Structure 1
Amino acid sequence: MCTVLQAAGLSAAEESTYLSLVRQGSAPLPQLADRIGLTAAGTRRAVAGLQRKGLVHRTPPPQERVVPVPPDLAVEQLVRRRMEELERTREAALRLADEAEHLVSSRSTEELIEIVSGRAAVGRAFDRVQRTARKEMRVLTAPPYAKGTGVNRTQLDREAAGVSYRAVYDANALADPDMAAAAATHLRAGEQARLVETLPTKLAIADRELALLPLAYATAAHDAALLVHPCGLLDALIALFETIWAVATPLALGDDDQPTADNGLTAADRQLLSLLVAGLTDEAAAARLGVSRRTVVRRVQHLMELTHSRSRLQLGWQARERGWL
């Protein structure tokens, strides 16, 4: 049942809410929140989502209750709607692919990929990429760093103009005083930042329009780079960034006003993850930790939201990738 519901588009909170209603019967919102270990606001959001998907309905006040639609009716309807949405998406993707193929085929390789040579030219190209962005810049920041690396003034200007920045830093960045100070300035200006142990390359992407990456991942990377226009390679670079972003640890300013990894984990969370990965049930993990089952469910829900996981299996994978185990 869990796999079916997740595949049909339910969030983890919506799934646990619906399963509780099916297995334990209808309930008022406060009682339902207590059952599933969510906050009142979280329960209201889950119920609202289930209502939109046609899985529950609510009785009139004053004795308002949340009532589940029988699974054989609700899930069939949900799956059918999901399949129709996917079919429309597939048809749109095919039309878009035809258009893209026509556009790309009419452009030469020289128009899709430019080689930039010389340190000054690479610096100008980075500035060009940032000024191309109208909505968002995605940046991977990794060594080797250019001499005198400091605050990105163009970034501050673009952020003031409404362009958002998401940046992932290599762990070595925080060991470099100039880079750490620059990162702190960028965070104060509104940059969303994350940290990973090692990055595979430097990278800067403006919306879905233009990307810049080194021609070689070495000291000479400052002296030669590639500018990539819309094509399959740009799509792959965007996917690379999003994959790294998903497993990276958030960065925030600490009490000393310096960038600090903020994974939101406690020692108890790490112990709980270890127990769950080892195969213990919620009840067994709760007994081992000396807490209630509801506390375990609530902490697991928090960790799933923190890692954007849609299942406990995915949470375990994310925890291992982030070095939490």
Structure 2
Amino acid sequence: MTEPNLRFLGVESEDEETYRLLLRRGRFSRTEVADQLEQDREDTETAQDAESAYLRLTQLGLATETPGGLAPVSPAKAVEGLVERQVARLRGELEERAATSAVVDSLLAEHDKSLAHAAHAPHVSGTTQHIEGMASVRAAIDELTFFTRTESLTTSPTGILSPESISHARLLDSRILRRKVHMRTLMAAPALEDATTMNYLYELASQGAEIRISYEPLERLIICDRCAALTPIDPAHTSKGAILTRDPGLVSALVSLFERMWNSAQELPASAHGEATEAGFVNAFQRQILSSLYTAEKDEIGARELGIAVRTYRKHVAALIQRLGATNRFQAALLARERGWI
């Protein structure tokens, strides 16, 4: 069976061999890199080749320069960095291709044609559309957030987010925040009394979202790029459906309404940040445990760094893996970072 390698993450075999050598041998100086390469390979690296290998390892995030020389980055952190590089590269290529191909404009044109053809229907009127049923509403929200590029404005009149709604929202919110879209969210005051909701709000805040708490009644709104807005057909029974409008006048009025509610709301309280709860956020000790999954190659090392018994360390790791819904330590570290826990 072929040994697993890093080629699929953009690392050439020579650089991977050097990295594995660093993991086996430890810290190298610049001159020791050439000596060790010569000892561990059949061919002889020149000084220039060794210098190039030294630089490539640091650029790839596989090693770091320290006062004592070149030191290997922990495998979990190194692989995560390589994954992020490939994802960023692929995302950049795809977004550039999408922009140059004008595919979004083409799709929106088809959508506009559909609205125009259906203008005689009772549920569609010009730039305003009635969407019935929660499944259709969710599909509309998915589409709106996918095309959002500059700003997302949302409100939650109840202030309480169930685990199911958070699970669905996390995918959409992460998509928006990853693109550096300016997200502002208004939450009703009951959010302050719900640990699950607060933990998710702090998770969003750690990723760049602006969140405020309102003690005044809120109207349910979703506004994207100030050109499309979604409101419930019946605020008292949101399951009936929603009204989607792209009418500039209506959207502008709804933006003004949001701004008035936003200006009268209060900042998300910072005092609760970092408090551990059963539902979500982690305390300082748990954060250290999660961070050690990157830096400590063995449980024994992680336990020693935290000053606890190995058995206790493994117990905490297992509990955090279960909370995150991960299948292994590496995935747990990735999910913890994605949620802003570390």
**Which TM-score bucket, shorter chain as reference?**
0.3 to 0.5
Rg bigger for which structure?
A: 2
**Higher relative contact order (Cα pairs below 8 Å, separated by 6+ residues):** 1
If the length of structure 1 is used for normalisation, what is the TM-score? Answer: 0.43
If the length of structure 2 is used for normalisation, what is the TM-score? Answer: 0.41
